Chain A
Amino acid sequence: MIEFRNITKVYSTGIAAVNKVSLFIEKGEFVFIVGSSGCGKSTLMKMMMKEVEPSSGHIFINGIDITRISKRRIPNLRRSMGIVFQDFRLLFDKTVYENVAYAMRVIEADPKLIKKQVPNVLSLVGLLDKADFYPDQLSGGEQQRVAIARAIVNNPAVLIADEPTGNLDPDTAWEIMSLLSDINRRGTTVVVATHAKDIVDKMQKRVIAVKNGSVYSDKESSGYVEDHGTGIVENPKDYSHLTKHNFPWSRRKAGV
């Protein structure tokens, strides 16, 4: 599904933000990318959406080497993925409904399909009743739900979210993360870069820990440990740290 093959990114300033990273994310996975500030998380995400070009290496998404596609085809790449940012990035002169519909309009979807699909995703994120609101009439959490609705309205195979809860309080952060998990259960591959350690610890998903631009641990586990080890874990199937506590996703609906 998503493969980083020996990716290095050196910015024009000479900073090596990402250093020889190789990763494989399977279809349907939910992956956290964690690590301290400046370790290169955002750079990894930006390379997936071709906002930043790697200095060397290749990135495959759905079998296509995206480092090789032309600038003109970037819109096509971005249509195949949903993107969510820390700062929501909604169009402020459009309503909630129009923000979500916009993603369908750019691919010239059938208006009938738009009329059907937009309310569907809005109800999925719990905002059907605010369809005619403008973004500045919503709370941060609600705005992020709109952004998520927009990201999934075209049923992308991949959803990538860079710090999606960075601007939200802990409770709201939980709601957003569980929403992403719901989306993952419906079959979408989800990649989330985050600082929210407590959430990561509890969610029991695969965690890729990045340090100084390199992957230093990659575990399908309940959490990651700051063990300052130098060895890069090549095999992601490391179940040794599993401490499964069933996280009750349904609690979101009860108002956690």
Chain B
Amino acid sequence: MSLNTIGYLFKDSFHGMKKDFKNTLISLGTMFATMLLIAVAYLVYMNENKLINDTKDRSSNIVAYVNIDVTDEQAKQIGYKIEEIRGVTSNTYRDKDYAIELAKSMNPIMVEGFSDEILKTIYPAYYVITFDDVTMIDVITHELGKITEIEDVSVNQYAAAKARDAEIYKAVAIVAVIYIIEFSVFLMMNTTKLMMYSKRKEISIMKYVGAKNNFIRAPFAIQGVLTAIVSVGLTMLVINVAYPAFIRSMTTLESGFSFIAFGSLFKELALLLVVIGVLIGIVGSSASMKKYLDV
């Protein structure tokens, strides 16, 4: 295509947007709503991720008690099985002697008068197991239960509570994000389809005059891209004001969670939206006009 033609196609796009201002506003509104929803989904997702990371409390752990009858040698072998469980980052073996020493130092009255031989039938050896992802606690506990030499598993209560919370937040966030994206794509697709339907006669006229498909598509694609860029700009403006305000209102509720500052997300979000918007603008318009081009 010559420079003149490209220039014309741009001019024609602007003219078309001005002439059909109603449709321009409709597609701008739809694209803006889409971008805003995607931005919200993104912020929810990022904060959710941070929440989970925050919950990765290094002090939280699982304690797996070895069956009292298992010998020291056998118990050491269990370590290899534990190592293989998905989500486990480390395991430390504590033998009965260690357990007894610990009991003596922490609760001397309880163990007073018992010989070590008797205590060895009371205090089992155990493993201290650590993990990175609190949401894996259930899986790890379940897998530990399958090891026959392990008698009992105890989970640090604080970590377990956090894990449950994180699990719930994550589920809610994922469902929300899926719904938001589904809804916005549906919205955009339908608007574009309707728009193209209203243009179908013009498209067929262009075909009769001998216009090639790309020549017909170009102004629509350019309009789509322009709409996307304006919408992204508006979205960033709105989020820039609304997000910090939202954070402020949330922190007064003593939620204990600190949200990600918007500044650190700005560039990433803007880029994401521009890419999605431009893609919708180009692909959406050409996909939905495809059937009208076939005349």
Interface residues of A (CB under 8 A from B): 49, 51, 74-79, 83, 85, 89-94, 102-103, 105-108, 110-111, 150
Which single residue of chain A is at the shortest CB-CB distance from B202?
A91
List chain A residues, Cβ under 8 A from B201. 89
Assess whether B208 is in contact with A111, with CB atoms less than 8 Å apart.
no
Q: With A and B bound together, what is the CA distance between A85 and B204 in angstroms?
A: 13
Q: Which of B158-217 contact A (CB under 8 A)?
A: 201-202, 204-212, 215
Assess whether A91 is in contact with B4, with CB atoms less than 8 Å apart.
no
Assess whether B4 is in contact with A111, with CB atoms less than 8 Å apart.
yes
| Interface residue range, chain B | 20 to 34
Nearest CB on A from B295, distance (A) = 7
List chain B residues, Cβ under 8 A from A150. 209
Assess whether B202 is in contact with A106, with CB atoms less than 8 Å apart.
no
Assess whether A102 is in contact with B295, with CB atoms less than 8 Å apart.
no
The 10 closest A-B pairs by CB, nearest first: A79-B210, A78-B210, A106-B211, A93-B19, A89-B205, A75-B210, A75-B212, A103-B209, A108-B5, A83-B208
List chain A residues, Cβ under 8 A from B206. 91, 102, 106
Q: With A and B bound together, what is the CA distance between A179 and B208 in angstroms?
A: 21
List chain B residues, Cβ under 8 A from A108. 1-2, 4-5
Assess whether A49 is in contact with B208, with CB atoms less than 8 Å apart.
yes
13 contacts between A and B (CB under 8 A): A75-B210, A76-B210, A78-B207, A89-B205, A89-B208, A91-B205, A92-B202, A93-B16, A93-B19, A106-B206, A107-B210, A110-B4, A111-B4
Which single residue of chain A is at the shortest CB-CB distance from B20?
A93
Assess whether B5 is in contact with A78, with CB atoms less than 8 Å apart.
no
Q: With A and B bound together, what is the CA distance between A94 and B207 in angstroms?
A: 16
Interface residues of B (CB under 8 A from A): 1-2, 4-5, 8, 15-16, 19-20, 201-202, 204-212, 215, 295
B interface majority secondary structure: helix
Q: With A and B bound together, what is the CA distance between A78 and B205 in angstroms?
A: 11
List chain B residues, Cβ under 8 A from A105. 5, 8
The contact of A75 among B16, B20, B204, B211, by CB within 8 Å, is B211
List chain A residues, Cβ under 8 A from B211. 75, 102, 106
Q: With A and B bound together, what is the CA distance between A51 and B202 in angstroms?
A: 16
Q: With A and B bound together, what is the CA distance between A108 and B212 in angstroms?
A: 11
List chain A residues, Cβ under 8 A from B207. 74-75, 78
List chain A residues, Cβ under 8 A from B19. 93
Assess whether A90 is in contact with B205, with CB atoms less than 8 Å apart.
yes
Which single residue of chain A is at the shortest CB-CB distance from B4?
A111
Nearest CB on A from B206, distance (A) = 7
List chain B residues, Cβ under 8 A from A89. 201, 204-205, 208
Q: With A and B bound together, what is the CA distance between A92 and B1 in angstroms?
A: 25
Nearest CB on A from B292, distance (A) = 14
List chain B residues, Cβ under 8 A from A106. 206, 209-212, 215
Assess whether B1 is in contact with A102, with CB atoms less than 8 Å apart.
no
Which single residue of chain B is at the shortest CB-CB distance from A85?
B208
Which single residue of chain A is at the shortest CB-CB distance from B1?
A108
Q: With A and B bound together, what is the CA distance between A105 and B8 in angstroms?
A: 8
List chain B residues, Cβ under 8 A from A103. 209-210
Assess whether A78 is in contact with B208, with CB atoms less than 8 Å apart.
yes
Assess whether B209 is in contact with A78, with CB atoms less than 8 Å apart.
yes
List chain B residues, Cβ under 8 A from A111. 4
List chain B residues, Cβ under 8 A from A83. 208-209
Q: With A and B bound together, what is the CA distance between A78 and B204 in angstroms?
A: 12
Q: With A and B bound together, what is the CA distance between A77 and B5 in angstroms?
A: 21
Q: With A and B bound together, what is the CA distance between A103 and B215 in angstroms?
A: 12
Nearest CB on A from B193, distance (A) = 19
Nearest CB on A from B202, distance (A) = 6
Q: With A and B bound together, what is the CA distance between A1 and B210 in angstroms?
A: 20
Nearest CB on B from A97, distance (A) = 12
List chain A residues, Cβ under 8 A from B4. 108, 110-111
Q: With A and B bound together, what is the CA distance between A89 and B215 in angstroms?
A: 18
Nearest CB on A from B195, distance (A) = 13
Q: With A and B bound together, what is the CA distance between A150 and B209 in angstroms?
A: 8
Nearest CB on A from B207, distance (A) = 7
Q: With A and B bound together, what is the CA distance between A49 and B205 in angstroms?
A: 13
Q: With A and B bound together, what is the CA distance between A91 and B206 in angstroms?
A: 8
Q: With A and B bound together, what is the CA distance between A156 and B209 in angstroms?
A: 12
Nearest CB on B from A116, distance (A) = 15
Nearest CB on B from A59, distance (A) = 17
List chain B residues, Cβ under 8 A from A79. 210
List chain B residues, Cβ under 8 A from A94. 15
List chain A residues, Cβ under 8 A from B215. 106
Nearest CB on A from B121, distance (A) = 88
Which single residue of chain B is at the shortest CB-CB distance from A104?
B209
List chain A residues, Cβ under 8 A from B208. 49, 78, 83, 85, 89
**Given A75-B211, A106-B211, A108-B5: 12 more A-B contacts, CB < 8 Å:** A78-B207, A78-B208, A78-B210, A79-B210, A92-B202, A93-B16, A93-B20, A93-B202, A106-B206, A106-B210, A106-B212, A110-B4
